[in-house]
Structure 1
């Protein structure tokens, strides 16, 4: 199991407000069935690396379909094989 932080930045928009481009992305994430947490500056998801990469592709397609003419994607993946990795475990103090 891996934990990833995903941030999509739509460019080429007519306004500095980007909510209308990100709403379809959040819907794709919800529909994926993966555990996720929306954060102020990105979204954290939990799943296999293959599931996460498939989700990134679907999010990329969704933001372009929403009208963004350009998108920059930032993705960080933490994948451990020595012990279970969860969203909650990464924020436990």
Structure 2
């Protein structure tokens, strides 16, 4: 299991507002079956690394299909083998 932070930045849009491009991405994340938490500057996801990477690919397609001409993706993955990481454990909840 791993905890990952995923941030997608749509570029080539006609407006500084990006909600219309990110809504489909959040829908993809919500339907993934992975535990997640939407944060102000990105989304945190918990699950197996291979499933997280597959999710990133689906998010990439979703934001382009929403009309972004270009996308920059930032991905951080914390994958531990000594104990299972959790979203709550990362923030001390």
TM-score scaled by structure 1? 0.99
Aligned to 1:71: 71
Query: What pairs with 1:54-93 in structure 2 (closer than 5 Å)?
Result: 54-92=54-92
Query: What pairs with 1:3-82 in structure 2 (closer than 5 Å)?
Result: 3-82=3-82
* Partner secondary structure for residue 61 of structure 1: helix
CA–CA distance in structure 2, aligned partners of residues 27 and 15 of structure 1: 21
Deviation at 1:31, TM superposition (A): 0.3
**Where does structure 1 differ by over 3 angstroms across 4 or more consecutive aligned residues?**
none
CA–CA distance in structure 1, aligned partners of residues 83 and 30 of structure 2: 26
Deviation at 1:84, TM superposition (A): 1.2
Deviation at 1:4, TM superposition (A): 0.1
* Partner secondary structure for residue 37 of structure 1: strand
CA–CA distance in structure 2, aligned partners of residues 23 and 8 of structure 1: 11
Name stretches of at least 5 consecutive residues in structure 1 with no aligned partner.
Answer: none
CA–CA distance in structure 1, aligned partners of residues 83 and 66 of structure 2: 39
